[in-house]
Amino acid sequence: MSNVNKFEYAPAPESAALVNIKSEYGLFINGKFVAPKSGKTFTTINPATEEILARVAYAELADVNLAVTAARNAFTKTWSKMPAAERGKYLYRIARILQERSREFAVLETLDNGKPIRETRDTDIPLAAAHFFYHAGWADKLSYAGHGSNPKPYGVAAQIIPWNFPMLMLAWKIAPALATGNTVVLKPAETTPLTALLFAEVCQQAGLPAGVVNIITGDGATGSHLVNHPGVDKVAFTGSTGVGKAIAKAIAGTKKSATLELGGKGANIVFEDAPIDEAVEGIVNGIFFNQGHVCCAGSRLLLQENIQDELLEKLKNRMNLIRIGNPMDKNTDLGAINSAAQLSRITDLADTGDIEGAIRWSPNCTLPTKGFWYPPTIFTGVSQSHRIEREEIFGPVLSVLTFRTPQEAIDKANNTPYGLSAGIWTDKGSRILWTAKRLRAGVIWANTFNKFDPASPFGGYKESGWGREGGRHGLSGYLKGQY
């Protein structure tokens, strides 16, 4: 089969003028932007061009103290005493404002993160608004959430989010916390703080009481001050397994509750009776969506031996059509890697695949000379001992393994310290159920991949974390049951 010819697309850039990026941002504490006590700042850049976007305040312990105090005062004096239906109205208001300003948020997310505008416009921001709509509906129905007739909030929630889905992760954290009556101090990732700071303006626009949401910016040291603060009752973290373990150790022996959504090494299993063309689309979406910067990415492809050649040929043909380049172009499929540090990690781990004997393949593509870029890559001839099969790369790199029997597929899929996600491709419903029952993963997709809904709980097992986010199950992380 010959390669499918590429279509030539005329540039279709989105306008950066849709968002007004300030030259410098402060910390959002007690309903207003304030300068950090130390006066320290850091820069955030556009990873596609390496241009500086803004200077951002760096929060130290004194600033964390102010933010936690503001959150505590708001909790005890305002938010916990407010009727639940009234709290829900604020969430509805925030959701509507996000929808109204969705294009502005999508552009800012793409500029600060490097992901394609098509993804921020069609996935990230709509889903963020949907989470606020969904949790607004729960605010006055918590007695039906399965935690007794009168469940109570914890109090002050410290929330730390990653750089791969900045605005969506903010919504995953803040929406359930506010719906259940908690107040929040949130720290976005240091490489992607801008949409969180724009969300602070949304809080002001919605008239949210001062101190209910506080947003502080900084690096890992700032996050550590927040996690270890004695005024925090609840910790919610999404990020690497290594940092998750450090947080678990830090709060051990305290009364703090934790939700940890950590790394993954998802298996995408394709059986011999699967619809091949649909599976190829699912594989591409599973690993190349958001440049592979997805904790639940299908980064391990398990193919039944007798369809390996056919599927790989079609997969390579499909990968030849992936458009790489300017994330602000509406035609772009694969954007920039978020940072130089992440690009270095992806490169180093992928290079071990070459060293350990796997066979690398990437489509012929011209990468931009400015910014941080990595081509979509697959490795065949991979064994379970290869580092690229065992370690989370967090980039557009796919490891391909084969299996002969369904049980062998299960054994290989479960042979990982992670347990976040998996995919099953087959024509038989009975095989889907048989396989799903045996996979040790928190989220399992059948004949699709990377589909999300606010009403569906998300989370993992083993080193992929504790607890669930989204759905009724996700409320439990923010409620103390009263039975």
Output 142-149 pairs: Cβ under 8 A, ≥24 positions apart. Answer: 142/84, 142/179, 142/180, 142/475, 142/479, 145/472, 145/475, 145/476, 145/479, 146/472, 146/476, 147/475, 147/476, 147/479, 147/480, 147/481, 147/482, 147/483, 148/481, 148/482, 148/483, 149/482
List Cβ neighbours of 55 (8 Å cut-off, separation of 6 or more).
Answer: 23, 24, 25, 41, 42, 43
Which amino acid does the sequence have at 228? Answer: N
* 27-29 and 152-153 strand pairing: unpaired
Phi (first) and psi of residue 189, to 5 degrees: -65, 150
Q: Which residues are catalytic?
A: 261, 295
**Secondary structure string (H, E, C) spanning 216-281:** CCCCHHHHHHHHCCCCCCEEEEECCHHHHHHHHHHHCCCCCEEEEECCCCCEEEECCCCCHHHHHH
Contact yes or no for 48/371 (Cβ under 8 A): yes
**CA 292 to the chain's CA centroid:** 11
DSSP result, 406-469: HHHHHHHHH-SS--SEEEEE-S-HHHHHHHHHH---SEEEES--S---TTS-B--SGGGEES-B
CB atoms within 10 A of CB 84: 15
CA distances from 56 to 25, 170, 184, 371 (A): 5, 18, 20, 20
| Interatomic CA distance for residues 388 and 146, integer angstroms | 41
* 152-153 and 257-261 strand pairing: unpaired
CB atoms within 10 A of CB 193: 25
- Residue in the structure block whose two tokens are 């990415």: 297
In the three-class reduction of DSSP (H, G, I as helix; E, B as strand; rest coil), residue 329 is classed as strand
> What's the start-to-end Cα distance of the chain, in Å?
64
Reduced to 3 DSSP states, what percent helix, strand and coil does the chain have, rounded to the nearest 5? Answer: 40, 20, 40
DSSP result, 275-325: -HHHHHHHHHHHHHGGGG--TT---EEEEEGGGHHHHHHHHHHHHTT--BS
